[in-house]
Structure 1
């Protein structure tokens, strides 16, 4: 009786590509090791066609070598292509477990962290030792007889009788295969159990390691004298080592003024000198905040939210204006400083810093140790790139350093807001795409990197795989050094290092294990990354590109979509689908234009990056060549900026969303529902087209269609008060698509959106009642994409930083700026207005362009507000700006007092605060009182007393924090108000 042939080690469950032996081989009792069987190649590359095939006789005969392959056989490749089987997810559970354990352990009590680590370690050891004992137990008694050695048999004499061909048995043959290739069935049944124990043990070991690493990090934050000094808010003198590039915060709007910016520097304290003279050595991570008491030039005094890195504030010592003003911005990592600062506790527990050091900018930093050589070299490269981009247009000059090395110091707040609105901020954070582009230039497409027909520069230079991998590793290290170790950079570098290691060792190419390995190593090395949103978004986007994008691309190609567009669309949609809940958690908004904007920007990203890196490399050597390369890169870079600005300007480009975990979960569920519905819609082209048209209309929101659907703005509207939060922005209708804008509010996006919904495309005049940030910071949104004739301002040019911002915005668009003064009268169509306040400047005050002292009776910018009396088709309106009681009383005594008769509409002064003159309110006796204020503002606007006084006079009081944007139409007895 012939014996059934045994399978190679691992059996069918180990390698599904094993070719089943033929019936003839089964009858002859032989086993053939096929040349394409990976189980026969321990190195993982497979046997070459020229390798002789071994055939073993089951009866114990000596192995017989078959004839060698023909010399005409083509030469073997360095790594034969293999069919990609199911994704290898074995490292994913340990990586996720380590991530969760590190995030929990950062601020957990030390005893709990130690307990979890010890229990996890003991459980893992128990599982592993039980596996070893099970392996040493051997087969049971029932199988010991079969394990005894058989006596050798003599070779049988050949049978001269002819043999009939064997008839195959139609019944399926059951094979008893063990993990080692042969043995009793009981062992095969125990193999899955052993694998499960090993997997659980690996998860527990990673949990123990991550908890230990995070616990040690937390102990480092609590070690040394600084935490106790911070709790007492003590003043210390410390020697610190800079660990990051300095960055400048944007001025934040706080009420009517912008907070001065500060320089933020991440550092590590090496020595601390307390007030008593005690000096202590330590290594405590801190965040230094340097108050430079200067506003950033070129940027608005605020953008409605805090942020970092306004224009022309760079860390690399590039000679920018702000760097020349503040030497703190020119510091490089590894520089040692001596600072005197007030220590304060860090606000967020379990973070990266133990203490915040508040430093006053007196005479600049006191440098006690120069930066290291590599950091100086990286600083020169970054400085050279900035110098090469100095002559480019504004957007390209700001964007190119950000695309190449992550230097966003020149990005204006307006452009940064456009990138946020379109979810293009990942292009400004150096990520895996930048490193991928560089590695593809070196090794070509990674799928062909181990094959004979591999592409890229390496095979053209005659470099072997290992040399190529070493060169790629050096390139990756340089990439991290120049681009700085931000979370996305670290994740990209770790994934690239794992992939290059696989390339050098000839292992199977799989990027999901590489991503899991990168996450595991980074979380163990730097536990605070486990709580970083940047790291989370980077990992989510990469995982989506590796898992969802290929499936979606294949589905699109099956619907006859060309390969390249299908891949690009699938990649953008997959990344947006998994990242949208986290982005909504951070921004309270969901972008509806993110996918098309990313598709349009993706086409220009690769050429801009390649040319930018070329400029970076050549700048220290041949600056003219670097400038030429930077000029070439400015074209795709400008395209990316135009895409961001255009997408952000669309009125329906985003939807407000709850910024909490419930909102994130709801968005995730909604995304899943959209994906499932989209799979069914792909089979119905007409239905897909209809959905696309509806989405396009929702994003564009053409005013005629919006007016029909929502009733906003009402037909024949005369005056509109925009909902811009805690600020003022109003519009006077002056014809079809034309309006006079009074104040711009604090947020450019909100002002732009309001004007778009009103259909305003032409603005003969912008009146800025005074220079407080809640009235002028949104000017860029008012001017964006509209024809503006002139800007009028008050005569009191305070505060200076906001005055400079207004003049810069006007100069950039060649818009004249003039001063408004009492007695001025103007008319545009049926719209007419007269300036009642402030009084004209005194004789000899100087030209209109120069700063002027406060006129009499004015106590500050509020009292200098431009006050307008407006007539529009029989409707009388009084706009008081932010006048306070002294100026209101002075207005009643001024020559314009005779015109202060009852009005139809009153724009209540100063957001309805309690600072109102009752005589002025009684004098004008409004029928409708409108108040512009922000929901939940910290000032209590509007004051209950003010609202009550207006209602006591018979006025209808409406407010934007509750009623939204307001539009007034009609006149006389037909006065109407519409709400948006």
Structure 2
């Protein structure tokens, strides 16, 4: 993983970064670390010249005075670094944007005259937009400009205020910079992402020292590679440790249940967040006068980020007490949970990404998983495996015997082996009992013959019964040919209480199977705005015609099932804005 992240830090090549790690960086607002940005270039310049405001002083920092380089020569050397930065990273608009913002930072570091640099920033923006007009419509460009402007105007004042309150100078500078950048950039992020990160500032603070080390070592490796390859390899190896730390910070921060919160999108949502941020800044300026209020606010923020399951249940009412089955909201994919005792559950599929299923299991209070069943190897059912394994005890992983797609099957074996979890194939007719649950594997048969529609038709299908008498049919993504085969091999199939509708409620359903099981609750795991048209209106109409109450995660959010008989009901969590 270290080797995959380093090219993004140094030259902006993120092609090898996994979707799971990218999602973690997005949740913690650390995406700027994985892209070519002015901050990367500013790190190199700061190593050369030192901290802002000292370049004109006798005690100025950085390598330049220690090497006896004059201020004028230092400026020329900084310009040469900018040129090398553009050449190495290719003169694309994003790279030119980073170099321009970095050069403005160079002027700030070299002169300490922050106010006079606003015209310089404006001139750089104008020249870049004239060179590449498409930047005028780029959110990334807007974020770079805003962040640079905040570092030049807001951050020094905030750092000075923190120093007056006894915060050490270096820590005050870092806090001021991180807070200022987040304050001005968060409303723009809310416009297109419709979310707010609650862990962005601490994660950026923890990552910043490692970013400097990794960037320096990465550029040193690039510089040494054409001359002394063993030295370049040494630099690249040493860069692996700080990049590993950055990845750990992103994953740990993103795994927190309240790492991010939904927020209204669009410019109205951005304007609302800007107003809230301004009010928050005004309140924060007065908090030192009221230590008890500050402590209470800090506690509320901590609880909002940690979201302990018992407190979440009290506040939101979800999951309901005594839930027996839950369908997580993981987007276009499947991840469902069968309660198997206090803190224990049987988990079926993981969804496409690690973070949503991890947060869902946290809300459900699941920390022990005796069995994880992966119905088939499509990415929307196994991609979130790391999220299920994270911080939980998993006893066994069962899978289908049809190892296709092979790359996803290999991913499952590799990820499970890294955590020491055995992987076995589910056997047709297998019966198990665990924590008040009993189930039977109804599909695939020992010799299914040709699989007409790929892995979907090899989905492991379970008929589950709870100790209270609830019955559930969980058919994975079975297509009509296998649904008909399932009914032929199990003609005794009768009405069930809950049906996990196959293949996200697609139009490909066998009416005979739906008529045989006639579920009381039909639950559909599906992503909002998916390009497949799931769930199909015809499928929903057929289910309702058989008397089923239909709930779906794209409109209802996560869903929990409670009760039996006349008390059977599905409780939706509801979606964030």
TM-score, structure 1 as length reference = 0.55
Is 1:925 the counterpart of 2:518? The answer is: yes
Residue 593 of structure 1: CA displacement? 0.8
Superposed counterparts of 1:679-828, under 5 Å: 679-828=285-434
**Cα deviations by residue, 1:593-632 (Å, 9 ceiling, x for unpaired):** 1011111112322233233333333333333433333333
What's the secondary structure of 1:877's corresponding residue? strand
Once the two structures are TM-superposed, the CA of residue 773 in structure 1 deviates from its matched residue by: 3.5
Provide the residue aligned with 2:174 in structure 1: 568
How far apart are the structure 2 equivalents of 1:683 and 1:485? 51
The Cα shift of 1:487 comes to 4.6
Q: What do the CA deviations read for 1:847-892 (whole angstroms, capped 9, x no partner)?
A: xxxxxxx625855433222110112212221112222333222222
Match of 1:429 in 2: 35
Quick one: structure 1 residues 474 and 946, their matched pair in 2 at CA, closer, same or farther if it must change by over 3 Å? closer
Q: 1: distance between equivalents of 2:107 and 2:471? A: 77
Q: State whether structure 2 residue 74 is matched by structure 1 residue 479.
A: no
Query: Which structure has the bigger radius of gyration?
Result: 1
Matched, 1:886 2:481: yes
- Tell me if the contact between 2:20 and 2:353 (Cα under 8 Å) persists in the aligned partners: no
Q: Does 1:590 align with 2:193?
A: no
1:502–1:509 CA contact under 8 A, matched in 2: no
Q: How many Å separate the matches in 2 of 1:749 and 1:506? A: 42
CA contact 1:857–1:886 (8 Å) conserved in 2? no
Whether the 8 Å contact between 2:402 and 2:455 is mirrored in structure 1 is yes
Q: In the alignment, is the contact (CA less than 8 A) between 1:487 and 1:534 conserved in 2?
A: no
Q: Does 1:631 align with 2:237?
A: yes
2:563 pairs with 1:957: no
Q: 1:594 to 1:641 in 2, by over 3 A?
A: same
Task: Specify the SS of the correspondent of 2:491.
Answer: helix
Q: Distance in 1 between matches of 2:9 and 2:378?
A: 34
Paired residues for 1:5-84 under 5 Å = none
Q: For residue 417 of structure 1, report the CA deviation from its aligned partner.
A: 1.1
CA 1:768–1:479 in structure 2 vs 1: closer, same or farther (change >3 Å)? Answer: same
TM-fit CA distance, 1:688: 1.3
Distance apart, 1:538 and its partner CA: 0.9
Partner SS, residue 341 of structure 2: coil
Structure 2 counterpart SS, 1:398: helix
Structure 1 CA distance for aligned equivalents of residues 450 and 211 of structure 2: 57
- 1:905 paired residue number: 498
State yes or no: 1:650 paired with 2:243. Answer: no
Please give the root-mean-square deviation of Cα atoms over the aligned residues, in Å: 2.8
Paired position in structure 2 for 1:862: 456
Given that 1:903 and 1:924 are in contact with CA atoms closer than 8 Å, whether structure 2 keeps it comes out as yes
Deviation at 1:665, TM superposition (A): 1.9
Instruction: Report the 3-state secondary structure (helix = DSSP H, G, I; strand = E; otherwise coil) of the residue aligned with 1:897.
Output: coil
- The 1-side partners of 2:108 and 2:247 are apart by 37
Classify 1:708/1:446 alpha carbon distance in 2 versus 1 (closer, same or farther; 3 Å): closer
Determine if contact 1:908/1:929 at 8 Å carries over to the other structure: yes
Distance 1:938 1:500 in 2: 46
Please state how far the C-alpha of 1:425 moved relative to its aligned partner: 1.1
> Contact between 2:344 and 2:369, CA under 8 Å: does it hold in 1?
yes
* Residue matched to 1:975: 568
> SS of the residue aligned with 2:265?
coil
What CA deviation, in whole Å up to 9, does each residue of 1:349-400 have, x standing for no partner?
Answer: xxxxxxxxxxxxxxxxxxxxxxxxxxxxxxxxxxxxxxxxxxxxx2x22223
Distance 1:504 1:701 in 2: 45
In the aligned structure 2, how far is the partner of 1:454 from the partner of 1:914? 70
Shift of 1:964: 2.1
Q: Secondary structure of the equivalent of 1:868?
A: strand
Q: How does 1:193-272 map to 2 (within 5 A)?
A: none
Distance 2:229 2:302 in 1: 46
- Take 1:922 and 1:435, find their aligned partners in 2: how far apart are those partners? 64
**1:76-475 residue pairs with structure 2 within 5 A?**
394=1, 396-475=2-81
The alpha-carbon distance between structure 1 residues 855 and 795, as it changes in their structure 2 partners (threshold 3 A), is farther
Cα deviation 1:139-191 (Å, max 9, x = unaligned): xxxxxxxxxxxxxxxxxxxxxxxxxxxxxxxxxxxxxxxxxxxxxxxxxxxxx
1:499-551 deviation line (CA, Å, top 9, x unaligned): 77899999999433332332233233333333322221111001001111111
Tell me the CA shift for residue 769 of structure 1. Answer: 1.8
Q: 1:567 to 1:889 in 2, by over 3 A?
A: same
Which structure shows the bigger proportion of residues in helix conformation?
2
Match of 1:872 among 463, 466, 481: 466
Within 1, Cα distance between the matches of 2:110 and 2:131? 24
Matched with 1:663 is: 269
Asked if residue 605 in structure 1 is aligned to residue 199 in structure 2, the reply is no
Question: Residue deviations 1:565-612, cap 9 Å, x none?
Answer: 222111111101111122222322211110111111123222332333
Deviations 1:210-250 (A, max 9, x none): xxxxxxxxxxxxxxxxxxxxxxxxxxxxxxxxxxxxxxxxx
Assess if the C-alpha contact under 8 Å between 2:114 and 2:152 holds in 1: no
Distance change >3 Å, CA 791–CA 482, structure 1 → 2: same
1:516–1:855 CA distance, 2 compared to 1 (3 A): same
Aligned CA distance change for structure 1 residues 538 and 950 (closer, same or farther; 3 Å): closer
Q: 2: distance between equivalents of 1:916 and 1:454? A: 73
SS at match of 1:515: helix
Give the unaligned 5+ runs of structure 1.
Answer: 1-393, 842-853
User: Is 1:499–1:509's contact at 8 Å kept on the other side of the alignment?
Assistant: no
How far residue 839 of structure 1 moved from its aligned partner, in angstroms, is: 0.3
Partner of 1:128: none
* Matches of 1:913 and 1:592, distance apart in 2: 36
What number of residue pairs does the alignment pair up? 572
Change (3 A) 1:863 1:412: closer
Q: Tell me the TM-score normalised to structure 2 length.
A: 0.91
Q: 1:513 aligns with which of 119, 123, 127?
A: 119
Structure 2 residue aligned with 1:833:
439
2:527 maps to which of 934, 938, 941: 934
Q: Deviations over 1:252-307 (max 9, x none)?
A: xxxxxxxxxxxxxxxxxxxxxxxxxxxxxxxxxxxxxxxxxxxxxxxxxxxxxxxx
Alignment deviations for residues 799-836 of structure 1 (CA, whole Å, 9 cap, x no partner): 44433443443344343332223211122222221101
Distance 1:975 1:523, change over 3 A: closer
- Superposed CA deviations along residues 103-143 of structure 1, whole A, max 9, x for unmatched, are xxxxxxxxxxxxxxxxxxxxxxxxxxxxxxxxxxxxxxxxx
Q: Return the alpha-carbon distance in structure 2 between the equivalents of residues 508 and 791 of structure 1.
A: 58
